[in-house]
Homo-oligomer: A and B are copies of this chain.
């Protein structure tokens, strides 16, 4: 139904398409954006099957805090690629669960410092091995060599 009311011009166009590889047809399922969205969905689903009580963004926040230690909410957002509004929600939920704690910056009163609680540290240490398994399962359709190539190219796009 992409082109109703076929005309002589359309028939000519068809011949051209047959010769040049169908360039005038738009296939959603071949577009990088659409496939990217599906691949991301699949990863999130794999993540959820291994770690049911935490989302990927929440995990990212804990992992980054574990990596770098206390930092401001804004800086954390930059490091895990979340805008200010999003990171606030993520931190609020982690705070409500006792995995992070916040405090005011002594010098710069605009800043809200965020850090892991002992419970948060214990949680992330427990989860990191699972995260490795998640990465493995996500990349499972590729050979090791393909996975390395894919990660290299994906990083160039991100």
A contacts, CB < 8 Å to B: 1-2, 4, 26-28, 30-44, 47, 56, 60, 63-70, 80-81, 128, 131-132, 134-135, 138-139, 141-142, 146, 149-151, 153-158
What separation, in Å, do the CA atoms of A139 and B156 have in the docked complex? 9
Measured between C-beta atoms, what is the minimum distance from A65 to chain B in Å?
A: 8
Interchain CB contact under 8 A, B157 and A139: yes
In the bound complex, residues from chain B placing their C-beta under 8 Å from that of A156 are 141-142, 146
CB distance from A41 to the nearest CB of B (A): 7
The secondary-structure label for the interface of chain A is helix
Is the Cβ of A135 less than 8 Å from the Cβ of B2?
Answer: no
Task: Decide: A1 and B69 in contact? CB cutoff 8 A.
Answer: yes
- How far is B33's CA from A33's CA once the two chains are assembled, in angstroms? 16
Bound Cα distance from A28 to B66, whole angstroms: 10
User: How long is the Cα–Cα vector from A32 to B146 in the complex, in angstroms?
Assistant: 13
Tell which of A40, A44, A80, A139 has the most Cβ of chain B within 10 Å: A40
